[in-house]
Amino acid sequence: MKPESKFWDKIADKYAKSPIKNMDAYEQTMSRTRAYLNKESRVLEVGCGTGSTALLLAPELEHLTATDISGRMIEIAQGKATDQAIDNITFKQAPMPDPSLEAKTYDAVLTYNTLHLLTDLPGALRCVQKTLKPGGVFISKTPCLKEQTSLWAIPLVLARLLRLAPYVNLLKFADVDRAIASAGFEIVETGLYPAPLNHFVVARKISSD
Ligand SMILES: C[S@@+](CC[C@H](N)C(=O)[O-])C[C@H]1O[C@@H](n2cnc3c(N)ncnc32)[C@H](O)[C@@H]1O
C-alpha cells in the first residue's frame, strides 16, 4: 500500500472519535447529496474514512461500495457496519486512482473532504469518470485552502516534512471545477457547506464511454 496510507492509519482511531465540526453544513451537504440518490442507486464513496457517511446513506440505497487508502479506517468502518447490521456496504482498502474499478458501474460517486489529499487529482477524476454509468453523477466536497491565504502553505509544508500532516493540494474553487470539467463532466450544482472554504460540487458525466 502507498506511503500516504501510513499517516491515515496512525490517526484513524482518533478520527473515529472526533465529532462532526459543523453539523448544519454536514446536514446541508447530505441533503443536497440525497437529492441525486434513490433506492436503486449503486454508489461508490471514495475516502470513506471511518464510514460515518456510508452508514447513514446505505439504508437509502441499493448498494454502496466504500473505499479508503487506509486499512485501519476501513477496519473501523467495517466494525461499525457489523455492529449496526448494515449489510449493503462493501468496504474495501483501495487507493484513488483505483485501477481495479470497472467501467460504467456506478450511478453516483461521492467523495467528501478527500480530493485535496490526492497526489494525482486528474488521474483520480478520470477514474471516477470511467466507473460512472453514462449520465451518472460525481458529488464532492473539498476544502479549498488557497481561497483564504497562501500562508497555509508554510505550516503545511513544515508539518509534512515532520510527517505530522499528509500531502495537501492547496486548491481554489476554480481549480476543482476546472479539473472536474476536464475529466469529462458538466457541473450542475455548487455550494459552500460551510462557507468560506468547503466547495460542494455535483457534476454529471457527459460522455457515453
Ligand atoms: C479527511 S479524511 C475524510 C474522511 C471522510 N470522507 C469524512 O468526510 O469524514 C480523508 C480520507 O481520505 C483518505 N485518503 C487519503 N488519500 C487517499 C487516496 N489517495 N486514496 C483513497 N483514500 C485516500 C484517508 O485515508 C482519509 O480516510
Q: What percent of the chain stands above pLDDT 90?
A: 87
- C-alpha cell of 105? 458501474
Q: Is 109 in the pocket of ligand 1 (CB under 6 A)?
A: no
Atom of ligand 1 nearest to the CA of 8: 25
Question: Does ligand 1 have an atom closer than 6 angstroms to the CB of 51?
Answer: no
Contact 71, 48 (CB under 8 A): no
Distance between start and end Cα atoms, the chain: 30
Region class of 65: left (phi > 0), else alpha (psi between -120 and 50), else beta: beta
Residue type, 70: S
Tell the residue nearest (CA) to atom 17 of ligand 1. Answer: 69
Query: Residue 105 corresponds to which amino acid?
Result: T
96 lines ligand 1 (CB under 6 A): yes
Whole-prediction pTM: 0.96
DSSP sequence for 99-134: TTPPTT-EEEEEEES-GGG-S-HHHHHHHHHHHEEE
Furthest-apart CA atoms within the chain: distance in Å: 46
pLDDT of residue 1: 53
Find the 163 Cα to ligand 1 centroid distance in Å: 17
Residue 114 in contact with ligand 1 by CB distance below 6 A: yes
The low-confidence residues of the chain, meaning pLDDT below 70, are 1-3
Residue 149 pLDDT: 73
Predicted local confidence at residue 2, as pLDDT = 61
Question: What cell does 5 get?
Answer: 496510507
List the domain boundaries for the chain: 4-205
User: Does 4-205 carry CATH code 3.10.129.10?
Assistant: no
Q: How far is the CA of 121 from the centre of ligand 1 (A)?
A: 13
